[in-house]
A and B are shown apart, each in its own frame.
Chain A
Amino acid sequence: MARGYLSIVLHAHLPYVRPAPRCPSEREAWLYERARDCYLPLIRVLDRLHEDNVRTRLTLSLSPTLIAQLCAPLVQERLVRHLNDMIELSARELNRTALMPELRRLSGTYHLRLLQIHQALVQRCGGNMVTALAEMEARGQIELITGPASHAFLPGLAALEPQAVRCQIQLGMDEFAKAFGHPPAGFWLPECAYTPELDEVLEREGIGYVIVDGRALERATPPAFHGVLAPVYCPSGVAAFGRDRDGPGFGGCDALGRPTDPTYRNNRVDIADELPPEYLRPHMPGDGVRVSTGIRYERIGGGNGESRVYQRTAALDRAAEAALDYMTERMHRTEATAWKMDRPPIFVSAYEIESFGYRWFEGIEFLDYLVRKVHFDQNVLETVTPGEYLDRHRCNQMTTPAASSWSGEGYFEPWVTPGNAWVYSHLSRATRLMRELTAAVSAARLPDDAAATGDRGIGNDLPTRALRAAGRQLVLAQSSDWLTMMGSPEHGEYARDRLRLHLSNFARVASQIRDREIKSCDIEALEREWPIFEQIRTDAYD
């Protein structure tokens, strides 16, 4: 039996972006870029690990907004088209770089990689990555978890209205169950943000475990006896696993997981920024829309006489070295701590999935090497999922984790700041109004209607549909993405526009419900334009 556990938890999330009617928008391409650089390469790695009989236990957190987008037929179709475009572009790159041997070799690598990714999507997944992930879960390779419906910053919502938290959690669980046919094993708290007020709601919704920042356990009341090296039970019985922050991150990356090693690929220089628009236009989704191609020839280092061209083999060697260091450090800490504990210590390595492949190109291979090294090269560590750990160790300390998040200081900035206080003011008014409208519609419903829908607030009469349409807009407005993007020069305006759109949609429908002048065409239009959260219930606000 291993003396320590390594639990790798990867969180995948993107805000919900409606597919544009004619051709994909730049925001929609966020998903295509991540699928190309991160999700599909990870699926390929997991399949290879399975074929090689390598014991793999990864936990994958999929946000409900990401699941909805991955399941949408139009998104699936456009993703295939994007990969076809990139394959054609990489084929042209083979010609363009024919007289530049170093670049030619790299463009050949990209061309082959894109063909393999295309094959993974079309042949392996049948166009739908969700079904492939469900299959991997069924064979025990991954444990799937989810989070609040629109990735809301839950401590902020809890301060406004506990009902809003309940609605987010309930809807997130329902959306996951719709996609995978069963409830999730655990629950991802966006930004690892926890406050003790969440405990009761999490338990009521049947959540088994959450991942919190390590500081939530270090500052727990009373303190966690084993620190972050063992989970605790919150007073309700929900288990909280502390994210390990003590060990060094990935070799050659900064604290945020961005590559810094000179051999790694420079992710900032894409041919989409370098080559003439007329050359790229045939491969871009539409007029004036520019998306990254993922074809990048430069490494981080170089210059001053040294070649800047990315050397794939050297970069992969560095990633393998980083995987070895990562594992060795956890092995040393296991040896240093296991003798003091009544159980093997667990190191919960929780990261955003984007760090692997998308932000750090070699990150996917790092994961592959890490899992293989843990399987073949040592007998101190074993990979486990949090669910598997709880099956093996049912007795854990009970304590109250401290309010915290995974931000630099470990508290609630940048999601709560004077600069975004106005967002909370809107959300507070809208949430209180939602509660008032729910009570009014519920009071007006006939008992037969309530019985027909199991009283879960999913009726199809016009007032209930209107209430649910308003609820969807409110849920979309509550996303933590808008708070995160608000301070960014690149995305701030988009975040404000999205908030404006969802809150004005909400206010308009709320007005119709209140005045008992519901326009069915308006409700139908909203249902059509925002095909997400179909299962939203209104009873969360009762």
Chain B
Amino acid sequence: MSDPLREIVYPGDSGLGSDLTLLPISPQRVLATWSVPNGLEPSGESLGASHGSVNTADGAYRLRLREVVVDPTDGEAVGREWVIDVEDGRKNCVVDVTEPGIQLRAELVRANGINGSARVAQSRRVQMPPATRQEDAGRIQWMICDRPDPRHEE
């Protein structure tokens, strides 16, 4: 559905910069929504080459979703990747990922010549919901909490 509130202009919209948000819908579906102010130039180099087609026309946008694998020694590493060419004027899309329960991060990149692209916006990391009961960890942790009576607070 196109935006029925297009007429609303937020002051200094361009000053806010571009924005990309990932919202999980279900374990294997995520909604990416973005806004790129008019005239905004890409800032910063893209984090890496995409695995998909790179022969995109100059100025075209592409969405890259990456699985984030948290490595306790090295920090974040990148796992699988999904690349979507974005039609002109589009502000959101739904991406089907192959596995539930993974962590994702996305970036919106803009092609600037053959094999070249620059990042326009980057999302925060999101955790996709698990689809089924998790594997039993074998160890159960217990916690004791004291609960003050809220009626006697304040």
Residues of chain A having any CB pair with chain B under 8 Å: 137-138, 155-156, 159-160, 177, 181-185, 195-197, 208, 218-223, 225, 233, 237, 239, 387, 390-391, 394-399, 402-404, 409, 411-413, 416-422, 424-426, 428-430, 432-433, 436, 496, 499-500, 503-504, 507, 510-511, 514-515
Contacts and interface: CB of A to CB of B under 8 A. Distances in A.
Contact of B150 (A185, A416, A499): A185
A340 to B, nearest CB: 14
B26 A411 contact: yes
Contacts of A182: 150-154
Interface string B100-136: 0000000000000000000000001011111111111
Contact of B8 (A402, A507, A515): A507
Given A185-B151, A398-B142, A514-B11, 13 more contacts: A159-B24, A222-B136, A223-B137, A394-B144, A403-B128, A416-B25, A425-B92, A433-B16, A436-B15, A496-B4, A504-B5, A507-B9, A507-B10
Nearest to A234: B143
A428 B21 contact: yes
A428 B33 contact: yes
B5 A514 contact: no
A138 B152 CA distance: 11
B146 A394 contact: yes
B77 interface: no
Contact of B129 (A159, A398, A402, A499): A402
Interface of B: 1-5, 8-13, 15-16, 19, 21-27, 31, 33-35, 91-94, 124, 126-137, 139-147, 150-154
B139 to A, nearest CB: 8
A223 B141 contact: no
9 contacts: A137-B151, A182-B150, A182-B154, A183-B153, A223-B135, A397-B140, A413-B25, A418-B1, A436-B15
A404 to B, nearest CB: 6
A222 B134 contact: yes
A390 B11 contact: no
A532 B132 CA distance: 42
B92 A433 contact: no
Contact of A159 (B15, B124, B142): B124
A230 to B, nearest CB: 11
A395 B143 contact: yes
A441 to B, nearest CB: 14
A428 B151 CA distance: 36
A392 to B, nearest CB: 11
Contact of A514 (B12, B92, B126, B145): B12
Nearest to A137: B151
Contacts of B127: 195-197, 403
A223 to B, nearest CB: 5
Given A159-B22, A422-B1, A432-B16, A223 B134 contact: yes
A183 B13 contact: no
B132 to A, nearest CB: 7
Given A159-B21, A428-B35, A391 B142 contact: no
B134 A429 contact: no
B126 A159 contact: yes
Contact of A430 (B10, B26, B93, B136): B10
A262 to B, nearest CB: 37
A507 B11 CA distance: 7
Contacts of A412: 23-26, 129
B25 A395 contact: no
Given A222-B134, A428-B33, A496-B5, A395 B142 contact: yes
Contacts of A233: 143, 145
Contacts of B132: 219
A504 B5 CA distance: 9
Contacts of A399: 141
Q: Kindly list the 5 A-B residue pairs having the minimum CB-CB distance in the complex, ordered from nearest.
A: A222-B137, A421-B92, A422-B3, A403-B129, A511-B11
B16 A429 contact: yes
B154 A181 contact: yes
A539 B130 CA distance: 34
Nearest to A185: B150
Contacts of B4: 422, 496, 500
Contacts of A429: 10, 13, 16, 19, 35
A190 to B, nearest CB: 16
Contacts of A514: 11-12
B10 to A, nearest CB: 5
Contact of A417 (B27, B31, B137, B140): B31
> Which of the listed residues A184, A404, A433 has the most CB atoms from chain B within 10 Å of its own CB?
A433
Contacts of B22: 159
A196 B127 CA distance: 9
Contact of A223 (B5, B31, B133): B133
B92 A422 contact: yes
Given A195-B127, A413-B25, A433-B12, A184 B150 contact: yes
Contacts of B19: 428-429, 432
Nearest to A186: B150
